[in-house]
Amino acid sequence: LLCYFMKNEKLFSPKLTWRDLQHLTVLTSNRNSLFDGRCREIVDLRIPGVRKMHRSSRDNCSHFEWQVNGVGLEFNHLFGFGVLDAAEMVILAKAWQTVPARFHCDAGSIWEPQLFIENRIPSSGTLVLEINTNACRGTETEVNYLEHVQAVISLNSTRRGDVTLYLISPAGTQSMILSRRPKDDDRTDGFTNWPFMTTHTWGEGSSGTWRLVVRFQGPNKQTGWINRWTLMLHGTKEQPYSSIQPTSDHQNSKLQLVQRAHKRTG
């Protein structure tokens, strides 16, 4: 149904690219009445300057609550950026300008010879690795405004299903990129150059210190180690929404929010 809707040339210009549609989806979706009704084991990483994954508890349970990223966009680990608003998409699409070219920045790597003993995942507690990057500034692949972010990881552990991964952006947005998998009992293969992706940092600036948090979550003690972590940034060099001017009788609040954030930092 969604594909048919987006292919309707009466509603959307055929000149819109797949990236334009992704941007439109992010800027026009909303939380509506979505909420997480399931009790979950959500760990507070207790890292200073990081937005928590849950803000409150209901019925003595932890839940995935709605969060706000570094440019003011709401997201949820279950529902992404929310429910599609078809009418809002059509209205904003009429004023849309194709987003700037997309670049892919290899922002840095940490690998085994550099890690030494520090690569071991503790049985209790967390392993925190950091990559400080200028996001390929001054090169042909400079990325200043994020769309997708990938953490390409190689690791081994005594139980792969108990490994959890979190990626923290320079703006402090925390994204769970790998949750616990109770039925995954692998102890030999691990992950080899496995790309874990997030869109939760959409629109944020890319330069600064990125943190990868690795920990075990499960009933039994495990051991493991990280062999390699490569940070890949995908996005634009130029501000993606600077030339978009919605009609005066209908303003998109999310668009305005991100435009203001980009003006402050740009």
The verdict on 106 and 59 lying in the same domain is no
> Percentages helix, strand, coil for the chain, rounded to the nearest 5?
20, 35, 50
Q: How much is the average pLDDT of 193-211?
A: 98
Q: How much is the average pLDDT of 48-72?
A: 73
Q: How much is the average pLDDT of 108-128?
A: 81
The yes-or-no verdict on residue 148 having pLDDT over 90 is yes
Q: What is the DSSP string of 144-162?
A: -EEEEEEEEEEEEES-GGG
pLDDT band (50, 70, 90) for residue 51 = low
The verdict on 106 and 197 lying in the same domain is yes
The residues, ordered by sequence, that sit 6+ positions from 260 with a Cβ below 8 Å of its Cβ are none
The residue out of 67, 99, 131 marking a domain boundary is 99
**pLDDT at position 36:** 74
Domain containing 128 equals 102-236
The yes-or-no verdict on residue 118 having pLDDT over 70 is no
Least confident of 7-11, 163-167, 249-253: 7-11
- 262 belongs to a structural domain: no
**pLDDT at position 119:** 82
Q: How much is the average pLDDT of 250-254?
A: 77
Between the ranges 6-10, 35-39, 122-126, where is the mean pLDDT highest? 122-126
Report the candidate in 59, 33, 25, 36 with the shortest Cα–Cα distance to residue 176: 36
Between the ranges 38-42, 87-91, 146-150, where is the mean pLDDT highest? 146-150
**pLDDT at position 149:** 99
- Count structural domains, the chain: 2
The yes-or-no verdict on residue 12 having pLDDT over 80 is no
**pLDDT at position 194:** 98
The yes-or-no verdict on residue 106 having pLDDT over 80 is yes
**pLDDT at position 166:** 96
**pLDDT at position 114:** 59
The verdict on 9 and 28 lying in the same domain is yes
The yes-or-no verdict on residue 15 having pLDDT over 70 is yes
d(CA 180, CA 110): 24
Mean pLDDT of the chain: 88
Between the ranges 45-59, 80-94, 116-130, where is the mean pLDDT highest? 80-94
pLDDT band (50, 70, 90) for residue 6 = low
C-beta atoms surrounding 195 within 10 Å? 13
Classify each residue of 38-62 as buried b or exposed e, where b means 16 or more C-beta atoms within 10 Å of its C-beta.
eebebbebeeeebbebbeeeeeeeb
The verdict on 192 and 219 lying in the same domain is yes
The verdict on 59 and 179 lying in the same domain is no
The verdict on 114 and 231 lying in the same domain is yes
- 247 belongs to a structural domain: no
The verdict on 225 and 122 lying in the same domain is yes
The verdict on 52 and 81 lying in the same domain is yes
The verdict on 106 and 231 lying in the same domain is yes
The yes-or-no verdict on residue 56 having pLDDT over 60 is no
Higher pLDDT, 74 or 116: 74
**pLDDT at position 5:** 63
d(CA 237, CA 135): 10
The verdict on 70 and 145 lying in the same domain is no
CATH value at residue 142? 2.60.120.260
User: Could you say which DSSP state residue 40 is in?
Assistant: B
The verdict on 82 and 112 lying in the same domain is no
User: Could you say which DSSP state residue 117 is in?
Assistant: G
For a pLDDT cut of 70, what percent of the chain falls above it?
86
User: Could you say which DSSP state residue 30 is in?
Assistant: B
- Is residue 24 packed enough to be buried (19+ CB in 10 Å), middle (13-18) or exposed (0-12)? buried
Angle at which helices 253-265 and 18-28 cross, to 10°: 100
**pLDDT at position 14:** 78
